[in-house]
Amino acid sequence: MSETRPAGTPPATAARRLHELDVLRGFAVCGIMVVNAWQHTRAHLPSPDRDAVDWGVENLLQGRFYPIFSFLFGLSFVLFLRSAAGRSRRPRAVLLRRLAVLACFGALHRLVNPDEVLLPYAAFGAAVLLPASFLPRAAVAVLGTAATAWAVNEGGGLILVPGLFLLGAALMRYAPPERLLPPAFAASAVLAVALTVLWFRTAADPALFHRGTYPAAGLATAAACCTGLPLLLLTRARRPLLAALAPLGRMALTNYLLSTVAILAALPLLLAVPTRAGVLALSAAVLAAQIVLSRLWLRRFRYGPAEWLWRCLTWLERVPNRRVMSQTSTAPSP
C-alpha cells in the first residue's frame, strides 16, 4: 500500500501514466469550460433562440467531459490512498479529511455556482469510495458496472458519478496492460458514433425515444477520449499535448474555480451577443490564458494555489511548494 504505482510497474512507466492522467484531466478542463460557459449563458437568456453552437454543445459536448473527471477521481482516490499509507498509520482518516476539505471548497463555490460538482464529489467519495476501499477489486468493478448501467437507464446526470468513481478505482487496482488501449479505443469510438446517431434519430420520436441513449453516448465518447488520448501520447503529438494539457490538468482544481470567475465576469458580454459564438470565444481566450499561466506557475511551484491549500489542509501542515531548481536544468520535473 505504500507504493504510488501498481506492483511490478517500472518507475518510468508509472511516471508516463501519471502524465497521461494530467493530459486527460486537462482535456476535461477544456470541455467543461465550454459547456459551463454555454450553460450559464443559456440560463440567463429570457427567451433564447437556438443556433448552431447550441446544437453542437448540447448534442456533441454536454455530458462528455464530467464522466472523465468522475472516472479520474476514482482512479486518483486509489493513488492517494496508496501514497497516504506510506505517510500515515490511518490513511483512510487522511483521505476522509481530504474529502472534507473538498466539500468546503464545493460549499464556497456553490455560493456563486449552484450547479458545481465539488460538493457532490466529496459526498459521493465518502459514501461510495471509502467503503469500497475495503472490498476486493472484483467486487468494486461489479458494483461500478451495475451502478453505471442503472444510472444510464435512469437518464444519467449526477447519478452517474458514483458508478464512475467505482470503475475508476477498479481500473487503477487492476492496472490493465497498454496493449488493450487500441481495441478499447476502437470499440468505444464506434459505440460513441453509433449511440450519437441513434440519439439524433430517436430524440424526436416518442415511440423510439429512450432516456438512456443520451448518457450512453456521452459515456462512450468519454471512454473513447480516455483511450484515444493515451494513444496520441505515443505519437509525435506527445510533446504539444503535454505542453498544453498537462499543466491544465495538474492545476485542474484551480483552473476549474477560476473558470467560474471568468464566466460570471464575462456574462454581461455573453448575453449581449445575439448568438452563442461568444461562448466559444471566451472559452478559447480563458483556456489559452490558463495554459500560459499554469505553465509559468508550475515552473516555480509544485502545486497550483488551490491544490496546495487542499494538500496543506489535508495533512494539517504547511506543505513545501516552491521548486528547488537544479543547476543543470531550469525545467521543472513533471
- Secondary structure in 3-state letters for 51-95: CHHHHHHHHHHCCCCHHHHHHHHHHHHHHHHHHHHCCCCCHHHHH
Q: pLDDT value at position 332?
A: 41
pLDDT tens digits, one per residue of 202-221 = 988 888 899 999 999 999 99
242 pLDDT exceeds 80? yes
Residue 50, φ and ψ in degrees, nearest 5: -95, 140
Residue 301, φ and ψ in degrees, nearest 5: -130, 155
Share of the chain above pLDDT 90, in %: 83
pLDDT tens digits, one per residue of 94-150 = 999 999 999 999 999 999 999 899 999 999 999 999 999 999 999 999 999 999 999
Rounded to the nearest integer, the mean pLDDT of the chain is 90
pLDDT tens digits, one per residue of 265-319 = 999 999 988 888 999 999 999 999 999 999 999 999 999 999 999 999 999 999 9
Q: How confident is the model at residue 183 (pLDDT cuts 50, 70, 90)?
A: very high
Q: pLDDT value at position 46?
A: 80
Q: pLDDT value at position 6?
A: 45
Greater confidence, 17 or 246?
Answer: 246
Cβ-in-10-Å burial (0-12, 13-18, 19+) of 176 comes to exposed
Q: How confident is the model at residue 329 (pLDDT cuts 50, 70, 90)?
A: very low
Q: How confident is the model at residue 2 (pLDDT cuts 50, 70, 90)?
A: very low
The cell for 91 is 490513511
Q: pLDDT value at position 333?
A: 38
259 touches 284 (CB < 8 A): no
